[in-house]
Amino acid sequence: MPIEHRSPYTVSVIIPTYNAGPETETLLKSLWNQTLPPHEIIVIDSSSTDGTAERARKNGAKVYVIDQSDFDHGGTRNYAVTMASGEILVFMTQDAVPNHERMLEELTKPLLENPKIGCAYGRQIAKSDANVLERLSRLHNYPEHSYLKDQNNIPRMGIKTFFCSNVCSAIRKDTFIQLGRFPEPVIFNEDLFFAAKCVLSGYAVAYVAEAEVLHSHNYSLKQQFKRYFDNGVSMRMNEWIYPFSSVGREGSHLLKMQFRKLMRSRAWNWIPALLVDSAAKFIGYQLGKNYRKLPQFLTMRFSMHRRILIKLQSVNGNGMSMKG
């Protein structure tokens, strides 16, 4: 439950939920017990059937319930912001738990220390049940050392310059509003698109390795394919960011790192799984980029978020989504 505290700034934590289960209580208690406790926790629940909303209320969160069909990665978070009164917005997901009590303090610190930082995101550490490939993926995308990214990084890093994750991110509310909030509707990458707007507007993006959360998934091949299909669709629908795309090169970097680590540790039995997993991602992404050439029934079958895709196609009849 919330505790009395004094801090130099107020933090609103925003968490979209759907059937989050008993872990909801664990997450909320961990957040309230931070060295920088949040001013408020806002839960936007997509009509859960397992008591998620009730658990959240009992643990001090402000809960707003929406229809499951109304969920949208950008729009739902934008809706939550209209209820937020904190000076800093922290976006989290229901399946990420702070790894220590200083997470919120560390995550928000760069925003207060440097006005040129538009947004910050934390380090994701694989959970104890994560498989080898997932652990290596987290190590690649979330290293041990913090760093800043700005326009100077674009020639070398490409779209990786804009990489950010709403699993654990922080943005000043005034900056969020100034830059036009998250795009909506959006099927994937709302965090990357906002970070891109930050960088292209002259701000920097901070990766904060000291702000640790436990978060990982053991995706099946089907799930990987669908996730990367939606990723490809999302990139193609946002042509303003597409020229920066270097997803293929970043994917090859990850594949090479995973392969080397498996060879060095003599985990040869994982190499076939690595190759098949990488193929599922690559094929899914390439098909997503070319979704306009696919029959409608295949597009719906390949997508992980069919409702959002339908909404996107109805809002943007030409399949395009604008920058803001």
- State CA 292 to chain mean position distance: 25
Ramachandran quadrant class, 180 (left: phi over 0; alpha: psi -120 to 50; beta: rest) = left
DSSP state of 138: H
3-state helix, strand, coil in the chain (%, to 5): 50, 15, 35
Q: Which residue has the tokens 């719906």?
A: 300
Specify the pLDDT at position 62.
98
57, 59, 84, 214 from 25: Cα distances, Å: 10, 7, 21, 15
Handedness of CA 137, 140, 144, 148 (dihedral sign): negative
- pTM to 2 decimal places: 0.91
Tokens for 104, please give them. 């919120």
Domains along the chain?
Answer: 11-214 (3.90.550.10), 221-315 (no CATH)
Torsion angle defined by CA atoms of residues 67, 234, 141 and 111, in that order, rounded to the nearest 10 degrees = -70
Helix axes 306-315, 221-237, angle to 10 degrees: 10
Per-residue pLDDT of the chain (324 residues; tens, 9 = 90+): 554 445 678 999 999 999 999 999 999 999 999 999 999 999 999 999 999 999 999 999 999 999 998 999 999 999 999 999 999 999 999 999 999 999 999 999 999 999 999 999 999 999 999 999 999 999 999 999 999 999 999 988 888 999 999 999 999 999 999 999 999 988 889 999 999 999 999 999 999 999 999 999 999 999 999 999 999 999 888 888 878 875 445 557 888 888 898 998 888 899 999 999 999 999 999 999 999 999 988 999 999 988 787 777 666 654 433 333
